Amino acid sequence: MNKKVAFYHNAFPYGGGERITIDIANYIYDKGYEVYVITSNLNPHTSNHIKAVEVTKQIPHTEQNTTNFIIQFIKENHIDIFITLELNTQFLYEVKKRTQCKIIYALHNVPLWEAIDRYYKRKEKSRHSIWKSLKWYTLTNLDYHLFKKCDKKYIAIYKQMYQNVDALTVLCDAYKKQLATYFEDDKRIHVITNPEYPRLNPNLDKKKQIIYSGRLLYSHKRVDRLLTIWEKIYEKIPDWELVIVGDGPERNNLERLAKKWDLERIYFIGYTPHVDNYYKDASILCLTSTFEGWPLCLTEAQANGVIPISFNCCAGIEAILGPNKVNGTLVPDGDINAFAKELIELINNPQLMEEIRKNVLKKVLTYSPELVGEKWLNLFNTLLENSNN
């Protein structure tokens, strides 16, 4: 009899976390696991190895009704392992209390990202109000940096979560060490990076093109910084262009800025499901976020022979791009002038670009779905073996 794994996503497919679930499913399906995805919002998908189940439309979409639906599904389908990306301590408590399955919380971001996100979303709201801006630069900053109120709140939530799961997965060793300082032990914390498929015969005949790929959000993506960097350098590199691939609520503002600053050779492509078509030609990928966990755009770039350059805003980015100027370029967090300088120096050093391009094609092999999938498989098997002892 096949062992059964169920993932819960609020929406499926949607973004990076859902792509990882599909990659895991594709691997463990051939290893004797039956894979389900329970979701409140089911979108079209093409995975033949996943049985997707939408929370019924016949019941009001309350939190408790969704919890009851998932628990009933786990019981009726004899799910062995349940995996969620949703940090809801009451939900996890009820799944643990009312079922016999093993529970995994998969953290696909930097620890305490919720506190960081809340901080920068408040900054975003303050942009168009003098009063809100003053409040953000005084009260919000004091609460966040000095009193760390938001951190304390989410540390307490993470502790509750950890009490109700059989395993917690994180993306790199540094995240495990950070979380270990909050918990009594780190025995249930497992480091599993996100997978990336090496591309067959990636195009290495690149154009003089810089690319950004991702959602256009102010709160943490901060693509406006990339426009500021482009303003500083585009006249110095007249043969190069900047291509923005992706969509989101910040797009109109970014297009207005580009027009206001008379930026040349900048193109907004919008959303595309075929982003590899743009990685194929691009030489460099830029990431100017305020925070990330394990940005898939960096590993996607590496897989396509595109050189990534990013602010060193989290340990996940350092793990992907390090050592600096070997697998990419790391820029001191938030230093726009340093970013512009590093970008120009990279463009003006074809030999270094060629060396890094060769290195990133090797580095991406360390995230192969086989290696990452094996780690997930070992975790599943260990949890089930322990439950039988």
The count of other CB atoms within 10 Å of the CB of residue 100 is: 11
Residue 243 belongs to some domain of the structure: yes
Domain membership flag for residue 146? no
Q: What is the CATH number of the domain that holds 382?
A: 3.40.50.2000
User: Do residue 361 and residue 213 come from a single domain?
Assistant: yes
Q: What is the mean pLDDT of residues 377-387?
A: 91
- Is residue 318 a part of any domain in this protein? yes
Helix/strand/coil for 33: strand
Residue 341 and residue 234 share a domain: yes
d(CA 285, CA 279): 8
Looking at the structure of the chain, the number of domains it has is 2
**Residue 380 maps to a domain:** yes
Do both 302 and 214 map to the same domain? yes
| For range 153-173, the mean pLDDT | 96
Backbone angles phi, psi at 300, to 5 degrees: -60, -40
Per-residue pLDDT tens over the stretch 186-236: 999 999 999 999 999 999 999 999 999 999 999 889 999 999 999 999 999
Shared domain check, 253 and 238: yes
Say if residue 323 is in the same domain as residue 380: no
* pLDDT at position 136: 62
Q: Domain containing 269: what range?
A: 209-367
Residues 224 and 354 in one domain: yes
214 and 359 inside one domain: yes
Q: Is residue 322 part of a domain?
A: yes
Same-domain check for residues 334 and 374: no
375 belongs to a structural domain: yes
pLDDT value for 369: 93
Q: Do 21 and 80 reside in the same domain of the chain?
A: yes
Whether 140 has a pLDDT exceeding 70, the answer reads: no
For residues 243 and 230, is the Cβ–Cβ distance under 8 A?
A: no
For residue 32, tell me if it sits in a domain: yes
Question: Is residue 127 a part of any domain in this protein?
Answer: no
Residue 319 has pLDDT above 90, yes or no: yes
Phi, psi of 193, deg, nearest 5: -70, 170
What proportion of the chain, given as a percentage, has pLDDT over 70?
95
Q: Is the pTM of this model over 0.85?
A: yes
Mind listing the pLDDT tens digit for each residue in 336-367? 999 999 999 999 999 999 999 999 999 999 99
Is there a single domain that holds both residue 322 and residue 374? Answer: no
Taking the C-alpha atoms of residue 259 and residue 266, their distance in angstroms, rounded to an integer, is 10
Query: Does 383 lie in the same domain as 298?
Result: no
Q: pLDDT of 227-236, one tens digit each?
A: 999 999 999 9
Residues 290 and 377 in one domain: no
Q: Residues near 199 by Cβ (< 8 Å), separated by ≥ 6? A: 276, 303, 304
Q: What is the pLDDT of residue 47?
A: 79
Going by pLDDT thresholds of 50, 70 and 90, the confidence category of residue 143 is: low
Position 133 scores a pLDDT of 72
**Between 146 and 271, residue with greater pLDDT:** 271
